[in-house]
Amino acid sequence: MSKPAIDALNLQISRLGNASSLHTQGRSVRKEVEEARESIASVAGCGPSEIIFTGSGTEANNLAIKGFYWKQQRSHPERNIIIISAFEHHAVMDPVEWLEAHEGAHVIQIPVTSQGVIDLEALAEIVEVNRAKIAVIAVMHSNNEVGTVQPIAEVVRIAAGIPVHTDAVQSFGKIDFNFDSLGVTSATISAHKVGGPLGVAALILQRGIDITPILHGGGQERDIRSGTLNAPAIVSFAAAAKDAEINRGARYSSIRELRTYLIEALQAKISDIRVNGDVEPALPGIANITFPGTESDGLLLLLDAEGIACSTGSACSAGVPQASHVLLAMGISERDARSSLRFSLGVSNTRSEIDHLASVIGSVVERSRAAQARH
């Protein structure tokens, strides 16, 4: 967490109060929450009333997807098509699959190019053929595994009135993201990705748009999301967002530079590596790399033992490693997807850490290749 976010949380957590209460203490908490809402809105480029606080990015994505789908179904039962990119985060992919399995939704995936960007021509064709039957389109603002930024403004233009939701959890605070200028109907942002606390996020929903709620109760957030507001976390979220925005340009350049240093250092040691989704614009710190002939679980284990943290695709509920659906969607073979690692660099990373990685990667890759050969 960033220092301003920690300070804000520490201060607020000692002033417990319910922002919905009418007494003096409640009003004071309410004031802090509304100021936080305004400052997050100014960073996100939206109106304060467009921010609906939630408990997580997953909740915000579920609220948007299900909320739009159910709302549309009510007035236009024929609108049962949901369009998503083929490499959405599970927080979008899974609610969509759930609607398909339980609520009669029909899902169409937008193909992704080998560069890690959605195919706009394919989207235009899908929309043209199905226009009257589409409930919502969801495309992530930037991909969390390969870092590529998606052409959301183009998606909105093609949608021409159909609701467009974007999961901007990875982008908010790190790269240019402006709700109003993108023209999307809704977007998800989350505190912990900008140096804020866990357990608070927001759905940004255009003023005047109504969606069906998931949680029913006190109606605290525009009657669309119920539940007592997590006031200390919200105030801390705002502090983190402000801090991220102030430092965004400088951080972007230094992290991007570090990423180039990382890729060059790895290329010098392992000549046949491939960088997946290596295009601009992109998130500054994500380097997704295929080490041919290895297995990523083995690489991860050996690097972890060297004090180097990295990630593989994802795991099922039992923790069994799976080939990344993102890389598979980009047309990368299952075998290469299972030989890929994701390094996520942030402001706290240093060149000497990368030098350490470069000094061990040769033997790590060699051992992993030996293990793979016996597998």
Q: Which stretch binds other proteins (CB under 8 A): 31-39, 172-180, 266-274, 310-318?
A: 310-318
Q: CA 299, CA 321: separation in Å to the nearest integer?
A: 13
Q: Which stretch binds other proteins (CB under 8 A): 10-18, 23-31, 200-208, 311-319?
A: 311-319
Q: Is 132 exposed, middle or buried (0-12, 13-18, 19+ CB in 10 A)?
A: exposed
Task: Indicate whether 319 belongs to the interface with other proteins (CB under 8 A).
Answer: yes
Work out how close the CB of 109 gets to other proteins at its nearest, in angstroms, rounded to a whole number.
Answer: 22
Count of C-beta atoms within a 10 Å radius of residue 309: 11
Task: Indicate whether 201 belongs to the interface with other proteins (CB under 8 A).
Answer: no
φ/ψ (deg, to 5) at 245: -70, -45
Cβ-based nearer residue to other proteins, 102 or 375 = 375
Work out how close the CB of 97 gets to other proteins at its nearest, in angstroms, rounded to a whole number.
Answer: 16
Task: Indicate whether 160 belongs to the interface with other proteins (CB under 8 A).
Answer: no
Tell me the number of residues near other proteins by CB under 8 A: 21
Task: Indicate whether 16 belongs to the interface with other proteins (CB under 8 A).
Answer: no
Among positions 235-264, residues that touch other proteins (CB under 8 A) are none
Cβ-based nearer residue to other proteins, 65 or 365 = 365
Long-range (24+ apart) CB contacts under 8 A made by 98-105 are: 99/65, 99/66, 99/69, 103/69, 103/70, 103/73, 104/80, 105/69, 105/80, 105/81, 105/135
Q: Is 167 exposed, middle or buried (0-12, 13-18, 19+ CB in 10 A)?
A: buried
Among positions 287-306, residues that touch other proteins (CB under 8 A) are 297-298, 300-302, 304-305
For helices 231-269 and 351-374, the axis angle rounded to 10 degrees is 70
Work out how close the CB of 333 gets to other proteins at its nearest, in angstroms, rounded to a whole number.
Answer: 16
Task: Indicate whether 373 belongs to the interface with other proteins (CB under 8 A).
Answer: yes
Please confirm, yes or no, whether 310 is among the known catalytic residues.
Answer: no
Task: Indicate whether 374 belongs to the interface with other proteins (CB under 8 A).
Answer: yes
Q: What is the DSSP letter of 277?
A: T
Structure tokens at 252: 């972007």
* Dihedral angle computed from the Cα positions of residues 101, 103, 108 and 113, in that order, rounded to the nearest 10 degrees: -60
| CA dist 39 → 5, 35, 45, 150, 179 (Å) | 13, 6, 10, 26, 14
Structure tokens at 337: 């997807």
Please identify which of the residues 22, 101, 132, 316 carries the catalytic annotation. 316
Task: Indicate whether 318 belongs to the interface with other proteins (CB under 8 A).
Answer: yes
Cβ-based nearer residue to other proteins, 23 or 374 = 374
Task: Indicate whether 370 belongs to the interface with other proteins (CB under 8 A).
Answer: yes
**Which residue in 315, 331, 346, 355 binds other proteins (CB under 8 A)?**
315
Residues that bind other proteins (CB under 8 A): 297-298, 300-302, 304-305, 315-321, 367-368, 370-371, 373-375
Active centre residues (catalytic): 316
